[in-house]
Structure 1
Amino acid sequence: MRNIYWLFIVLVSIGFGACDADPEYFQEDDSYIAFNVASAAVAENATDELKIPVRISTVNPKNVTLEYEIVLEGLDTPAEEGVDYQIMNESKTLSFSSTQLVDEIRIKTIDNDSKDGDKQFVIKLKSNSAGINQGLADGADTQCVVNISDDEHPLALILGNYVQDDYFTDGSYDSNSGNDMVIQADPNDDTKVFMTGFWGINDKIIVASVDIENQTMSILPGQLLFVHSTYGDCFAVSFEIVPDNNGDGKKDVVYHPQDNIECTIDENGNITTGMWAPTVSAGSFAYYGETVFTKQ
């Protein structure tokens, strides 16, 4: 989540600096193997392989072999290996060593001419030769959900992986930008998409409606980004800057919580929003003149 607790962190850091407690070190029992991402998306007609990184973290790097498996249970539209995609790694294994702490699962999609909708499959860590913990302490990052978007889908141009970059109203770049985001089709509505990872928040889905013919997208109003421990619910809200209304000599911000955040789509599937702000009842964490989603 965004770095909105900077003052607290600075104060805590100063406090820690004054302590004489012995430092804690990473122990061998803390070693783990885990996915770098919880989900990934790729177009059915993609020419490049989708590469999903898996990392190992250990005190004493050594030769380790990892096995993974494909899981389809619980999926509404499962992808079939050999029909919808191929795993390019031999024998569904990865290898790690002192000189290779990250390896990649490589996936090549198989195109067809049918409108058969998006399909999914799950890659799950199975076992490793060193008996190292798989996933983090809370069990996270032990699997990755892969979504294959149908290139015959009317919204195929904007389905897939993106990087989000935010720019303030003065045009300056928000250094907290660069988060990964995934756009997936609404399986029940060909005019809507689901955005995961918006503003760096991965546990909320943002819904947008799309007019692909006119190359526009509208992020629907009233959508919760996250709940702040102090300020409460934070929403993505459209706003405008108007002339000074209160006599303080400064321009004023007027929120439009009932309006869409309007976006444009270019010929490559890149998306640019209008002005929007992450707001709570006490105000806003930032004012963005535009956000750019660059398709990967």
Structure 2
Amino acid sequence: MKKILFIIPILAILFTACNKNELPKFDDSNAFVKLNLSSASFDEDKGTVTIPVTVVSVSGVNATVKYTVTDGKAKLDENYRLVDPTATLTFDATNRVRNIEIELINKPGVYTGDLDFTITLSEESSIQIGAQNSCKVTISDKDHPLTPILGDYTAVGVSYFNGNTQWAVTLKKDASDVKKVWIQNLVPSGTNLDVYGIVNDDMSEIRIPVMQEIYKSSTYPLVRLEGYYGPTGDDFIPQGGYITVEIAADKSSMTIKDDFGSHVYNDAAGTSAAGWYNYMLTGVVLTKN
């Protein structure tokens, strides 16, 4: 017979005090240029995208800034092009922000996986380069075979402790495995780590292995995903077992066919149970937003 004890997660709230000290003085001898972003991601069919670059100065300065691109998985002129082949930006007092323009080369129907390259501000520029001098750009492949089920969902189900519950769940692709999805916020009020599931060949089912760590707690050494087989929720799903998610034929929704929740332990080995952060009954429905 299963024992279900509810544990309320404790959230730490941090307060920061205002610093009323005067700002250090700054003049244009200290002017520098920086990339506004350290990373950026764009869908492969986005066309021309921009990465902003800013000159930081008091009154504005005239400056010429050069930049370079370094291939990662993305290749120059194969997966992306520089709109300005000279790779040069010009600034003055009126124009303190300029954009690096990149043309993404779309390959519809061809699955390449996500690709990346890096933009770096060059020391050959006429102004000193700030600490934020590079930006990793990811080209997100929209031809992933699991695209029909990836994205944001509204989940509706019944909590053993809280009754009718509605919350947000997101399914994300894996970086290398086209059969794996990562599930964000699977258990309401009991998740701060993503868990994974494996999708079958016809995309009709996801199997989520139990015993995955699902919550990182400062109070308890282990919180993991566990469950009981539906529809009655009487039989514990053992190590090596999985929670089954049935995907609708039109891919617009899915139903979780087992009980599941975030089980809390007093020890890292998972031998001394403390209770549950939350426990959802069989029949949770996820509807794509």
TM-score interval w.r.t. the shorter chain?
0.5 to 0.7
Deviation of residue 110 (structure 1)? 2.2
1:183 lines up with 2:173 in the alignment: yes
Percent identity of paired positions between Structure 1 and Structure 2: 13
Indicate how the Cα distance of structure 1 residues 242 and 52 shifts in structure 2: closer, same or farther if over 3 A, else same.
Answer: farther
Greater share of helix: 1
Deviation of residue 120 (structure 1)? 1.9
Indicate how the Cα distance of structure 1 residues 182 and 130 shifts in structure 2: closer, same or farther if over 3 A, else same.
Answer: farther
Deviation of residue 146 (structure 1)? 1.9
Q: How does 1:58-69 map to 2 (within 5 A)?
A: 69=68
Secondary structure of 2:216's counterpart equals: strand
Indicate how the Cα distance of structure 1 residues 240 and 183 shifts in structure 2: closer, same or farther if over 3 A, else same.
Answer: same
Asked if the contact 1:119/1:148 (under 8 Å) is kept, the reply is: yes
Asked if the contact 1:68/1:123 (under 8 Å) is kept, the reply is: no
1:219 lines up with 2:214 in the alignment: no
Aligned to 2:185: 199
In the aligned structure 2, how far is the partner of 1:100 from the partner of 1:253? 65
Asked if the contact 1:57/1:101 (under 8 Å) is kept, the reply is: yes
Secondary structure of 1:134's counterpart equals: coil
Deviates more, 1:226-235 or 1:121-130: 121-130
Q: How does 1:1-296 map to 2 (within 5 A)?
A: 5-6=10-11, 8-9=12-13, 13=15, 23=20, 33-35=35-37, 40=41, 42=43, 46=45, 48-49=46-47, 69-72=68-71, 78-86=73-81, 108-111=104-107, 117-126=112-121, 131-134=129-132, 143-144=135-136, 146-149=138-141, 151=143, 154-158=145-149, 162-163=151-152, 167=156, 169=158, 170-174=163-167, 177=168, 182-184=172-174, 186-187=176-177, 192-195=179-182, 198-199=184-185, 206-211=195-200, 213-238=202-227, 256=237, 258-264=241-247, 267=250, 272=254, 274=256, 276-281=260-265, 282-287=274-279, 289-290=284-285, 294=289
In the aligned structure 2, how far is the partner of 1:254 from the partner of 1:58? 63
In the aligned structure 1, how far is the partner of 2:180 from the partner of 2:88? 34
In the aligned structure 2, how far is the partner of 1:277 from the partner of 1:98? 57
In the aligned structure 1, how far is the partner of 2:139 from the partner of 2:110? 17
Asked if the contact 2:83/2:102 (under 8 Å) is kept, the reply is: yes
Indicate how the Cα distance of structure 1 residues 206 and 178 shifts in structure 2: closer, same or farther if over 3 A, else same.
Answer: closer
Equivalent pairs counted in the alignment come to: 246
In the aligned structure 2, how far is the partner of 1:178 from the partner of 1:94? 42
In the aligned structure 2, how far is the partner of 1:35 from the partner of 1:105? 14
In the aligned structure 2, how far is the partner of 1:5 from the partner of 1:57? 43
Deviation of residue 277 (structure 1)? 3.3
Asked if the contact 1:86/1:108 (under 8 Å) is kept, the reply is: yes
Deviation of residue 69 (structure 1)? 4.5
Q: Could you list the per-position Cα deviations for residues 19-58 of structure 1 after superposition, in whole angstroms to 9, with x for gaps in the alignment?
A: xx854688779x975537x574746xx4x44868769798
Question: Where do 5+ consecutive residues of structure 2 fail to align?
Answer: 1-8, 187-191, 266-273
Deviation of residue 134 (structure 1)? 0.8
> When the two structures are superposed, what TM-score results if normalisation uses the length of structure 2?
0.54
Deviation of residue 62 (structure 1)? 6.5
Asked if the contact 2:208/2:244 (under 8 Å) is kept, the reply is: yes
In the aligned structure 2, how far is the partner of 1:100 from the partner of 1:205? 40
In the aligned structure 2, how far is the partner of 1:214 from the partner of 1:238? 23
Deviates more, 1:273-282 or 1:95-104: 95-104
Find the structure with the greater CA-based Rg. Answer: 2
Indicate how the Cα distance of structure 1 residues 35 and 209 shifts in structure 2: closer, same or farther if over 3 A, else same.
Answer: same
Q: Could you list the per-position Cα deviations for residues 202-261 of structure 1 after superposition, in whole angstroms to 9, with x for gaps in the alignment?
A: x97743222352533333333334532221233344457998xxxxxxxx9987463225
Indicate how the Cα distance of structure 1 residues 279 and 254 shifts in structure 2: closer, same or farther if over 3 A, else same.
Answer: farther
Indicate how the Cα distance of structure 1 residues 60 and 186 shifts in structure 2: closer, same or farther if over 3 A, else same.
Answer: same
In the aligned structure 2, how far is the partner of 1:100 from the partner of 1:278? 50
Indicate how the Cα distance of structure 1 residues 53 and 82 shifts in structure 2: closer, same or farther if over 3 A, else same.
Answer: closer
